[in-house]
Structure formats: C-alpha cells, structure tokens
Amino acid sequence: MSAKLALPRRVVVTGIGVVSAVGVGKDAYFSALLAGVSGVRTIQRIDTTGFAVTIGAEVDGFEPERYMEKKAARRMDRYAQFGVAAAVMAREDAAFPADFDPYSVGAFVGSGIGGLDTFYEQTKVLLERGPDRVNPFFIPMMIPNMAAAHVSITLGLKGPVSATCTACAASTHALGDAFHIIRRGDAVAMFAGGAEAPIGHIGVPAFAAMRALSTRNDEPRRASRPFDRGRDGFVIGEGAAVLMLEEREHALARGARIYAEFLGYGMTGDAFHLSEPDASGVPAGTALRKAIDMAGVEPEELDYINAHGTSTPLGDAMETRAVRYALGDAADRVMVSSTKSMFGHCLGAAGALEAAAAVLTIVEGKVPPTINLEDPDPQCDLDYVPNVMRTADVRYAASNSFGFGGHNATIVFGRHEE
C-alpha cells in the first residue's frame, strides 16, 4: 500500500459469507429472500415442552467441519462456529490472496449475547455434577468476543481484531467500526459482521418472559409479520454474516470483484428505556440521516432501506416515524422491506445479515419482499414491498439496526463507480 493515499480512504465490499435459516452461502440466502421463503418452524434442536413459545428460525443441516477443524469446532459455541463459517465463505468469495500481510488485515465481529446455551449447559453441569466437572473451555466458549477471536485465529489475522456487544445493533456497529478502521488507514481489509445462536434452553423462555416473542406457535411461517396490524412480537433466529471490507485501491490493485462501496455510517443513542425504543423515532432517524449525510446522498436519492423491522408493535411503528423524520417527503418513494419476516430476528447477527441483503440488492437489481404483510398497520405507511420481490434499479441502499438499551445504527452502501 502506498503511504500517499488520501485520507479518508474509500471502502468497498469484496466478499460475502452467510449462515441463515433460509440458506447457507450468499447465493442460496439471497435466492430464498427473493422467493419469499420462510425459515421459521417449530424448534427442533431442543425440547420445548412447557415453553410459551415453541417456534424459531433455526439453521438446518449446518456442518461446522466444512469450514474449520473438528477439534477447533468442539471448542466453540454454536454462535462462534457460525461466525467462522461466514468469514471463511467471505474470504473464498473475495478470492483474497493467501500471502497477505497479517498485520494489515483484521476482524470485527459482533454478538449480542455470545455463547448463551454454553452458559446454560455449564451452569447445569455445575449444579448437577459439581464445580470440578465444569468444562475448562466454558469461558472462552461463552464470551461474546470469541467469534472475532476464532475468525482471527482461523484466518491468521493479526491486524485490528475486536468485537461489539450492543444487542441487536452489534453487527451493524461492527461493520461501521471496521469501515472507519480502513478509512483511517489502520488496515487494508477487515472481516466484519456478526454471529448469534440464541435458540436454546434459556434464550427462548427468557425472551418469551419479556413478551418480546410472537406466540403464533400453530402457524410458524406466518408468525414474523413486520408492519402488519396483526404482528405480536419477533421470531427468534440464529445465524451469521461476514462482509469482506477492503480499501478500494487495494481491491482494484489485486483485480477484486467489487460488490458495492461502503459510503456512510451513523449511530445514536435513545437515552430512553432498557428495551423500548423512543417512540418518536427521532434518535433512530438521526442515525439514518447521519449515515446518508456521510455518504453524500440526498434523501430522494436513497432507493432502498433494509429495515430493522422486527415485527414488534412498538418497534415497527417507531421505525416508520424514523424513516419519515430522516427523509421527509422522500420517504414516500423509498422502498423498505424487512427480511426478518423470513429468517427471524438474529439479534446481534441481524445487522450483518441485512447488510448483505442490501449489498446484493444493489448488485442484482432485485428487492426482497416483506412477507406476511396482509393487513397493513395504518401507523406503518411506507412502501414495504409486500409479499413479492420487486425488480428495481438500486443505486443506494441503507440498513437499519436498533438494539435494546437504545443503540441505533445505520449503514449506507452505493453502487461502485469506477
């Protein structure tokens, strides 16, 4: 890399890796989204007898040994396995060279919870079998920075390596922080995204106790219904996504395929409540406005927003107000869809999964729908691309994420201009 490159440096997306309930790998994932495929079903991995909620969006048929050594996989919680798999796929997709300077490449992988089921299982071991039977790998399996650590170890990354733990905004914050690391010249490339695996013995009943989850146990595929009048909570999901972010000149010099350019990032806090959003939408809308301002995009130029759209009564109405606050009259022409209607709410991994969808929307010129939108809520009055995907020229796309505690983050991608 030349030391004479102007700052801030331009950042592009050159690789995408995805693990989700609707598909593993970016192609299977995005094809399922465009087809409106739901990954929600009755939970299979654990016995949910007596649970108030028995549905979730589980990753089916995941084989960690395809992406990492079997011994290493045994020392990871499921969430970290997802994160490593997504990073390995992103590297392969980017055709990133094997002879890179390890100190010039890093990883920033967020998680809202980390190894929650490992925590449950080892607490059970402690109570039933005694303290001397607790797994010595319990702590490094459970803590939420370990997806980033394992990505670093697996791929040999010695540059900036870090993790965010900001609830459902964690991976959007990870992407934004990685973006700034490259912009200021501290790395030429970053593996950035998020991973989560909360569908387990404690995660499901804990979120159900908050009354955050949909209770449509008898119709799983119709349970996640963002912006619909009948929405009653989110559907818990699991998965991971990692984007290969790269300094533009570095990517061009090696002849990389460039999916899109990372143009803007905005973040704010609600300063309001532990779990409820500020209903006015002003703090969340300010994050969106900051992102488009950094991107140099006028409100009327924004073509698509991948919404946070969780299918909660308060959240979806707030996000609608946020978009209107940020875009003004231009809100009436922007396409908005919630892909959580298909793969559920993957908590700390949600933002990265949705960022991947936003990038692929620019590349493919096809916008995934919001499925199960059958009876629109009058409070939610934007163009949510209901039920059927749409072909459209998407030059600029944004992705919103809002986390418990009032963490708001938005990122903006644009078509790469030579």
Using CA atoms, how far apart are residues 131 and 113, in angstroms rounded to an integer?
24
Nearest Cα neighbor of 82 from 4, 31, 148 is 148
Domains 11-253 and 266-414 share a fold: yes
- Domain segments of the chain as ranges: 11-253, 266-414
**Mean pLDDT within 331-350:** 98
pLDDT digits (tens, 9 = 90+) for 226-263: 999 999 999 999 999 999 999 999 999 999 999 999 99
Task: Give the per-residue pLDDT at 4.
Answer: 53
Q: What is the pLDDT of residue 417?
A: 86
pLDDT range class, residue 106, cuts 50, 70, 90: very high
- Compute the distance between CA of residue 329 and CA of residue 323 in angstroms, rounded to an integer: 10
Three-state SS for the chain is: CCCCCCCCCCEEEEEEEEEECCEECHHHHHHHHHHCCCCCEECCCCCCCCCCCCEEECCCCCCHHHCCCHHHHHCCCHHHHHHHHHHHHHHHHHCCCCCCCHHHEEEEEECCCCCHHHHHHHHHHHHHHCHHHCCCCHHHHHCCCHHHHHHHHHHCCCCCEECCCCHHHHHHHHHHHHHHHHHCCCCCEEEEEEEECCCCCCHHHHHHHCCCECCCCCCHHHCCCCCECCCCCECEECEEEEEEEEEHHHHHHCCCCCCEEEEEEEEEECCCCCCCCCCCCHHHHHHHHHHHHHHCCCHHHCCEEECCCCCCHHHHHHHHHHHHHHHHHHHHCCEEECCHHHHCECHHHHHHHHHHHHHHHHHHCEECCECCCCCECCCCCCECCECCCEECCCCEEEEEEEECCCEEEEEEEECCCC
Neighbour count for residue 102 (Cβ, 10 Å): 12
Over residues 270-321, the pLDDT tens digits come to: 999 999 999 999 999 999 999 999 999 999 999 999 999 999 999 999 999 9
* Residue of 345, 346, 380, 416 with catalytic role: 345
pLDDT tens-digit map of 127-165: 999 999 999 999 999 999 999 999 999 999 999 999 999
- Please name which of 350, 372, 332, 284 lies closest in space to residue 37, comparing C-alpha atoms: 372
308: annotated active-site residue: yes
First to last CA, the chain: 19
Residue 14 predicted with pLDDT over 70: yes
Average pLDDT, the chain: 97
Torsion, Cα of 264, 94, 147, 68 (10° steps): 170
Place 418 in a pLDDT band, splitting at 50, 70 and 90: confident
pLDDT band at residue 172, thresholds of 50, 70 and 90? very high
Q: Which residues contact 112 (CB under 8 A, 6 or more apart)?
A: 144, 165, 166, 167, 168, 170, 194, 196, 198, 347, 348, 349, 403
Cβ-based neighbours of 209, under 8 Å, separated by 6 or more:
none
Of the pLDDT bands very low, low, confident and very high (cuts 50, 70, 90), residue 1 is very low
pLDDT grade, residue 5 (50/70/90)? low
**Which pLDDT value is given to residue 2?**
44
Tokens (6 digits) for 352: 């990265």
Beta bridge partners of 305: 336, 398
pLDDT tens digits, residue range 112-126? Answer: 999 999 999 999 999
pLDDT at 66: 96
Superfamily of domain 11-253: Thiolase/Chalcone synthase (3.40.47.10)
345 catalytic residue (yes or no): yes
- Is the pLDDT assigned to residue 23 strictly greater than 50? yes
Q: Which entry of 168, 173, 380, 416 is annotated as an active-site residue?
A: 168
Q: Which two tokens stand for residue 141?
A: 């399996």
Which residue did the predictor score with more confidence, 81 or 3?
81
Q: Which of 173, 250, 308, 416 is catalytic?
A: 308
In words, the CATH class of domain 266-414 is: alpha beta
Q: What is the pLDDT of residue 398?
A: 98
Residue 173 among the catalytic residues: no
The answer, yes or no, to whether residue 3 has pLDDT greater than 80, is no
Burial 364-391 (b: 16+ CB within 10 A, else e): eebbbbbbbbeeebeebebbbbbeebbe
